[in-house]
Amino acid sequence: MEMQVVNAMNYEQFVDVFGNVIEKCPLIAAAVWTKRPFPSVSALEKRFGDFIDSLPRSGKEGILRCHPDLAGRDLLRGTLSAESQAEQNRAGLTTLTASQRFQLTELNAAYKNKFHFPFVICARMNDRESIMNQLSSRIHNSPEQELQISIKEVLKICHLRLLDIISPVAHTTKL
Ligand code: 2AL
């Protein structure tokens, strides 16, 4: 998709296309639309990042809470967003053994119990083993550290989702 096409979208079209680059947060795409035109995909990505940066802590935590657990209930029920499904699949989370799933479920629960938001990581930049390692290690962080790390992971997910929509060859355009 060319940036001219993106910049010509009305807000309904824009939210339809970019509404899930931040998982289940179409409100963010609806807000970012105001900032068009976007000279490049990186400029568009920066607008998503700037909006998230501008939120109070409760808003950032709210974004994290919109993320499904890795290998959690939504995956089992088949109710993940298409993007999440593909990401979790790619990280090998759809083919866990019963004991791996149990371990991940227990760790996810302990993490949520401590931080009151789910463990979030860019699944496509990891595999089963690194996800387990990160979860086991990040659970020892402070809430402040985890909020920062998790939002960085959200931005990595956003980066890859944007690239999926806008092909790498069409990242810049003359306005
Ligand atoms: C996810 C997800 O659904 N996709 C991804 O990359 N990470 N969820 C999560 N809790 O980290």
Model confidence pLDDT, tens digit, residues 75-107: 999 999 999 999 999 999 999 999 999 999 999
Classify residue 113 as exposed, middle or buried by CB count within 10 Å of its CB (0-12, 13-18, 19+). exposed
Number of alpha carbons in the 13 Å side-chain half-sphere of residue 135: 26
Decide whether any atom of ligand 1 lies within 6 Å of the 75 Cβ. Answer: no
Model confidence pLDDT, tens digit, residues 106-158: 999 999 999 999 999 999 999 999 999 999 999 999 999 999 999 999 999 99
Q: Taking the model in full, what pTM does it have?
A: 0.94
Identity of the residue numbered 30: A
Decide whether any atom of ligand 1 lies within 6 Å of the 84 Cβ. Answer: yes
Decide whether any atom of ligand 1 lies within 6 Å of the 120 Cβ. Answer: yes
The Cα 147–Cα 150 span in angstroms is: 5
The residues that are catalytic are 67
Q: Which of 131, 22, 126, 114 is nearest to 72 (CA)?
A: 131
Q: Do the beta carbons of residue 124 and residue 91 sit within 8 Å?
A: yes
Q: What residue segments make up the domains of the chain, in order of their start?
A: 69-153
Q: What CATH architecture is 69-153?
A: Orthogonal Bundle (1.10)
